[in-house]
């Protein structure tokens, strides 16, 4: 029996072709009326392909509307767009793509630290607009060596960021729900105390009820006027208006943001600030990594439909 796959948003082209050669694939994003399309095919769908996107919400309502759904193959390491509670209640297998994107996300995180502290985006604009020739040298940046990076979330990505920070001569400390036996960095059980100690506050945690608005005005005030916030986790880990107020008021020195509270809508206030570097959720956005992630989605689906097993279950 041929399996029917609901693809909510595209993955890499080669892997879409692979799926189309083996299954019947319904590309929801191409439908003029997605709701009507779902109504026609909902009883046929046995698998879903999802990605991290505001356009790809696998809600409890959607899961319950697909009576023969067996597996959700997610392309990403964060899966807060999936109603995991309902999936579990319905006995749906959910897979994701861990490990393969660790290095690329850690590279973006490190790049944001370097770009914010050394004012690279500002300098680029300074040259392009002719201000260098008119005004001379722009204001100085800050060195990375000797600074303390406090990492929120010392998982795979957090540890990869820590290794890179050490190469730049930074000291690493971290906060999380539990101390990690496999790392030697100083552990803080109190986020506020760590924020007081660090120069760069790096957010590499997963998003959950516990981390919702974890970073607010109090944390930012403790980070201080020379501190920098870097967020490559999820936008809603930060109370965005508090961050805007802190940046505008000089409460902190700057920020590097790859994620936002209401993607892809970024507040105009952030766009106007010259002490912020903005990225369009580019953490894993390389050809190589997205291809590997997409292939893992395909491999999970094939293994499940052939042997009722998966490679990377959540």
pLDDT, tens digit, 9 for 90 and up, residues 105-133: 999 999 999 999 999 999 999 999 999 99
Do 65 and 192 fall within a single domain? no
Q: What is the mean pLDDT of residues 164-188?
A: 97
* pLDDT reading at 53 higher than 90: no
Per the residue annotation, which of 74, 147, 164, 281 is the catalytic one? 281
Q: Which domain holds residue 59?
A: 4-98+288-307
Query: Length of the chain, please?
Result: 314
Within-domain flag for 163: yes
Q: Of all helices (H) and strands (E), which one includes residue 300? A: helix 287-307
Assign residue 226 a region (left: φ > 0; alpha: ψ between -120 and 50; beta: otherwise). Answer: alpha
What pLDDT is recorded for position 266? 97
Residues 207 and 125 in one domain: yes
287-307 and 13-22 are packed helices; what angle lies between their axes, rounded to 10 degrees? 20
From the candidates 263, 272, 288, 306, which is the catalytic residue?
A: 263
Q: Is the pLDDT of residue 1 over 90?
A: no
Model confidence at 157, pLDDT cuts 50, 70, 90, reads very high
Same domain, 88 and 110: no
Distance CA 136, CA 115 (A): 21
**Which residues make Cβ contacts (< 8 Å) with residue 168, sequence separation at least 6?**
110, 113, 114, 144, 145
Give the mean pLDDT of the chain. 96
pLDDT digits (tens, 9 = 90+) for 284-302: 999 999 999 999 999 999 9
Q: Is 281 a catalytic residue?
A: yes
Do 254 and 293 belong together in one domain?
Answer: no
User: Do 63 and 201 belong to one domain?
Assistant: no
E-strand stretches of 260-303: 276-278
Residue 313 lies in a domain: no
Shared-domain flag, residues 114 and 235: yes
Q: Is 314 part of any domain?
A: no
38 and 111 share one domain? no
Does residue 283 belong to any structural domain of this protein? no
**Cα(24)–Cα(6) distance, rounded to whole angstroms?**
9
**Total domains, the chain:** 2
| Mean local confidence (pLDDT), 40-48 | 97
Statement to judge: residues 156 and 257 lie in one domain: yes
Q: Is 21 a catalytic residue?
A: no
> Do 230 and 292 share a domain, yes or no?
no
Q: Are residues 36 and 115 in the same domain?
A: no
Among 147, 164, 234, 290, the active-site one is 234
Q: Is 212 a catalytic residue?
A: no
Residue 58 resides in a domain: yes
Percent of the chain with pLDDT over 90: 97
- pLDDT, average across residues 56-71: 97
**pLDDT digit string, tens, across residues 263-286:** 999 999 999 999 999 999 999 999
Q: What is the pLDDT of residue 75?
A: 97
Based on the fold, state whether residues 112 and 258 are members of the same structural domain: yes
| pTM for this entry | 0.91
pLDDT at 73 over 90: yes
Regarding whether 141 and 28 lie in a shared domain, the answer is no
Residue 312 domain flag: no
311: pLDDT strictly greater than 90: yes
Give the CATH number for residue 53.
3.40.50.720
Quick one: 77 exposed, middle or buried, by C-beta within 10 A (0-12, 13-18, 19+)? buried
């Amino acid at each position: 029996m041929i399996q029917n796959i609901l693809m909510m948003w595209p993955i890499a082209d080669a892997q879409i072709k692979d799926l189309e050669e083996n299954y019947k694939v319904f590309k929801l994003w191409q439908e003029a009326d997605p709701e009507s399309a779902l109504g026609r095919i909902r009883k046929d769908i046995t698998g879903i392909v999802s990605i991290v996107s505001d356009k790809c919400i696998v809600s409890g309502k959607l899961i319950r509307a697909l009576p023969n759904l067996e597996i959700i193959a997610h392309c990403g390491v964060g899966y807060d767009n999936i109603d995991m509670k309902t999936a579990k209640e319905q006995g749906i297998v959910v897979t994701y793509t861990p490990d393969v994107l660790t290095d690329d996300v850690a590279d973006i995180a490190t790049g944001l630290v370097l770009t914010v502290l050394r004012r690279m985006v500002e300098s680029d604009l300074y040259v392009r607009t002719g201000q260098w020739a008119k005004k001379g040298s722009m204001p100085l940046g800050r060195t990375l060596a000797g600074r303390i990076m406090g990492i929120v979330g010392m998982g795979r990505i957090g540890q990869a960021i820590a290794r890179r920070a050490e190469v730049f001569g930074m000291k690493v400390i971290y906060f999380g729900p539990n101390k990690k036996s496999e790392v030697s960095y100083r552990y803080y059980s109190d986020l506020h105390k760590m924020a007081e100690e660090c120069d760069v506050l790096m957010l590499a945690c997963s998003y959950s009820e516990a981390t919702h608005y974890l970073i607010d005005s109090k944390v930012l005030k403790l980070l201080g006027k020379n501190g920098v916030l870097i967020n490559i986790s999820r936008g809603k880990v930060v109370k965005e208006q508090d961050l805007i107020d802190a940046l505008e008021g000089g409460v902190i020195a700057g920020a590097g943001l790859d994620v936002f509270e209401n993607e892809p809508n970024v507040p105009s206030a952030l766009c106007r600030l010259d002490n912020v570097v903005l990225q369009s959720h580019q953490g894993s956005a390389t050809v190589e990594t997205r291809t590997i992630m997409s292939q893992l989605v395909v491999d999970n689906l094939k293994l499940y439909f052939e042997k009722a097993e998966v490679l990377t279950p959540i």
